[in-house]
Amino acid sequence: MNHSIISGIYAITPDWIDTDQLIKKTEEVLTAGVNLIQYRNKIATNNQKLSQAKKIKALCDYYKTPLIINDDIELCRILKADGIHLGENDSTIDEVRNKLGDQVIVGISCYSDLTRVRKMLATDCNYIAVGACYPTTTKPDAPHASKSFILDVLKITTKPVVAIGGINLHNCEPLLKLGVNSLAMINSIFYANDVKHTVNQFQALVSKHD
C-alpha cells in the first residue's frame, strides 16, 4: 500500500442520525479537500449505517477520497470501501484479511499503549492511531497519549502514525512538529462554522511541516 495515502487531514464523521445533515456536511468536508474520510456512527442502527455509508461512499468516489469504515467488516465488504479502522475490542486483523483481502487498508487504535504499538507494528496493519492527544468530548475517559509517548512511537514505527483526540487549529502544530503523518478529527471539522476555511488552515499547517 502507498503509505502517502495515510497523511494530512483525516476527517471522521460524527454520530448524527439525520442522514441529510450528515451527507450535506460530508460533501462540504470533501469539497474543502481533506485527505481521508472515516465513516463512524456509534448510535445509528445497521440500516441507518448502511444508508449513510452508501451515500458517503458515492461522495468519496466522486471526490476521489479514500473511505475508511469504523469497525464493521460487513459494511466495508458491501461498500468495497478502501479500508477499516479497528479498536482494541473489535475484529482482528486476521479476520479482516480473511474476509476483505490484502488490498484493504487496516488501521489500528493503539491509544497510549507502547506494548500494543510494538505488537501492531509486527502485523500487516497499514497505520496506527495514537491518542487521545488532548482532552476530547467524543471519548472523555480516553487515556492521554503524551508527546513523549508519541515520540517513542515515532522512533520505532515503520508505519504511518495518525494522531487523534481533541485536536484543533490551536493545538495541532506540536503534533505535526513531532512528525505524525496525519491528524484525525471529528468536531474541529464537522462542527466548524466555515468548513473550507478551517480545512485550508489545517492543510497550510500540515504543508509547513511536510
> Is pLDDT of 142 > 90?
no
| Residue 90 structural domain | 3-208
What average pLDDT does the segment 57-67 reach?
98
Q: Give the model confidence (pLDDT) of 11-58 as tens digits.
A: 999 999 999 999 999 999 999 999 999 999 999 999 999 999 999 999
CATH of the domain at 156: 3.20.20.70
**If you write DSSP's letter for every residue of 76-120 in order, what string do you get?**
HHHHT-SEEEE-TTS--HHHHHHHH-SSSEEEEEEET-HHHHHHH
pLDDT score, position 139: 84
Number of domains the chain is built from:
1
Record the cell numbers describing residue 92, joined without a space: 482482528
Q: Which residue has 510494538 as its cell numbers?
A: 118
pLDDT score, position 2: 53
pLDDT score, position 3: 56
